[in-house]
Amino acid sequence: MTPPCQKLLLRLPLSRIFPSSGGPQMLCCGPGSCGGGGTWWVAGMSFSQKTNGAKVIKNPTNCGCAVFPEKSFPTQSGTLWQEFQLTINIGNPSLTSSMSVTLVAHDVYNWIYPNGGNVIPIGPNLDNNPNTTFSLSTPITISIPAGSSSYTITDVSISNAHAGDNWVVEASWRQPGMSVDSHSYSEPLTVWRTLWVELDVMADAEEGIGLNRFNPDTKYTPGASGDRGDITKNKWMDGTPESKPTGEPPNFDVRFVPTTPGVPAMPKPDISTLQTAMIKACIDVKEVEQGATGTTNSTWITGDGATPNPNAWDITTPFMKNLPGQGLTSTKYADQGISNQSRDVNIDNPAFWCVQGIGAYEHQTDKSRDDVEDDAIYGTATIGGGFFLIFNETIRDKVSTDSNVKRTVSQFNQLTTFHEVLHFFGFLDPGEVGYDPNVEGDIMTTGWFNTPTISSSVLTLSPAQIQKIQKTDHPK
Ligand SMILES: [Zn+2]
């Protein structure tokens, strides 16, 4: 259960919030909680959303906000998307003179992440993003007219925002007859970012002549007589027999597809584990809703040149049995052509994060585990290209033919998807130059294949992982 805001705040040593000075004696979350006794005072400050501005989500305990200073859709123009409001409440609205108040934002340690209900203390000082600019980091002085009960600054803004950046705004003023300034502090404000994921899938393999087609005469049909009832007779039309590991189960295998015309047999990448884990890094992961006019994201198609069909959502890419492999400098770099066939959202927009994930069949011939001796690649992430592939057939072969593997196909998809997306945040595989197991963590290894249960160290981001993620300017 979430403790009340004020208690949580006051439990923390203030030196963690304002480490460089004596700082305030307390933080204010409600009217009248500090500054009383004079003729006027700042009773509190709070952040809110402006029309077409950055999304602001209040913590239900009314202490702390999540702000999303980013474009909420790819083609959003102007700069309102990085602006929001700060409202100053006046403790004595009947005052008869104007009041002069100086405001300045303090970059505070990361100790709490409010996001509309989730309060997650994770540890101090993970956010050191000198490139981020908060407009109130430079002090401003405002004059609040006599008689005002509140005063709203409508163009507070954050640029180059990184997930996890956070601030508290300090108000300072001098009451009449007093020789020292009084101070009040805003609710804490934490930057969140949204990572959109465009999820596509490879189409079914088709019968017929040519590459990536399979021989209709040998298509296995359960219960049929002759070759069509003999699963070993299935052949690809490029001359290679359909090799398979012993004991391979039949679902969505080429010998059975196409199943329902127009309905891809392969699953999309599963972002559920990614979504849950990334909350701790202040990143909200969302699937792009691809659909007809009227659906949530229907206006998003940008036709950015990577899109073969600029006026409609493309959710399938043609079936490819093995990736060509030409020009691959690393197994992490898969064929760009696969993603281009179905990409709709521009991944290069710096104020809007979107990567593309494709449910694919298998990697190159010798990396598909069609023979148990084969090397096996379960997913790839193309760094800079902003797309990842999940190889469903290879995952299925591995799960069904390696008795050491304790994961289900579904878990394999979830964890591989999580792993591949972390590559866009700079995470490395074991063996790569710069790989640090203490930072990259267990999700970047393959140890989770064989453990009896999935360790929380796989599913939960560590402070080192959060720090690495939050330094990312633009995942792609
Ligand atoms: Zn990897």
Distance 377 CA to ligand 1 centre (A): 9
Residues having C-beta closer than 5 Å to ion ligand 1: 429
Question: If you measure from the C-alpha of residue 348 to the centroid of ligand 1, how many angstroms do you get, rounded to a whole number?
Answer: 22
Q: How far is the CA of 430 from the centre of ligand 1 (A)?
A: 8
Q: Which two tokens stand for residue 333?
A: 């770099």
Can you read off the two tokens belonging to residue 425? 């945040």
CA 464 → CA 280, 426, 440, distances in Å?
Answer: 12, 13, 8
**Which pLDDT score is estimated for 25?**
31
pLDDT tens for each residue of the chain, 476 residues long: 333 343 333 333 333 333 333 333 333 333 333 444 447 789 999 999 999 999 999 875 556 788 999 999 888 888 899 999 999 999 877 667 888 999 999 887 654 444 444 444 444 445 556 678 899 999 999 999 988 899 999 999 999 888 888 888 999 998 878 889 999 888 888 889 999 999 999 887 777 776 677 666 666 666 777 766 666 665 555 555 555 544 454 444 554 444 555 566 788 999 999 999 998 888 999 999 987 666 778 778 876 666 777 778 888 888 877 776 544 444 445 566 788 888 889 888 889 999 999 999 888 777 777 766 667 889 999 888 899 999 988 898 888 888 899 999 899 999 999 999 999 999 999 999 999 999 999 999 989 999 999 999 999 998 889 889 988 999 99
Buried b (16+ CB within 10 A) or exposed e, 150-181: ebebeebbbebbbbbbbbbbbbbbebeeeeee
How close is the Cα of 112 to the center of ligand 1, in Å? 30
pLDDT at 100: 92
- Token pair recorded at residue 389: 């592939």
Ligand 1 geometric centre to CA of 442 (Å): 11
How many angstroms does the Cα of residue 429 sit away from the middle of ligand 1? 5
List the one residue out of 221, 228, 255 whose CA is nearest residue 241.
255
CA distance 191 to 164: 5
**Distance from C-alpha of 186 to C-alpha of 64, rounded to nearest angstrom:** 9
CA of 37 relative to ligand 1 center, distance in Å: 61
Question: For residue 290, how far is its CA from the centre of ligand 1 (angstroms)?
Answer: 27
Contact 42, 27 (CB under 8 A): no
d(CA 62, CA 377): 48
What are the Cα distances from residue 38, in Å, to 25, 42, 151, 173, 265?
Answer: 17, 11, 19, 11, 71
Cα–Cα distance measured from residue 417 to residue 172, given in angstroms and rounded to the nearest whole number? 48
Return the percent helix, strand and coil in the chain, to nearest 5.
20, 25, 60
In angstroms, the CA 45 to CA 404 distance is 57
d(Cα 247, Cα 239) in Å, to the nearest integer?
Answer: 23
Q: Copy the structure tokens of residue 451.
A: 């453990």
Q: Which of 342, 334, 335 is nearest to 306 (CA)?
A: 342
* Ligand 1: centre distance to CA 334 (Å): 12
In angstroms, what is the span from residue 425 Cα to ligand 1's centroid?
Answer: 12
CA of 202 to the centre of ligand 1 (A): 21
Q: What is the pLDDT of residue 331?
A: 43
Residues 6+ apart with CB under 8 A from 337: none
Give the domain ranges of the chain: 5-191, 197-203+264-470
Ligand 1 centroid to 100 CA: how many Å? 56
CA of 131 to the centre of ligand 1 (A): 28
Res 196: pLDDT: 96
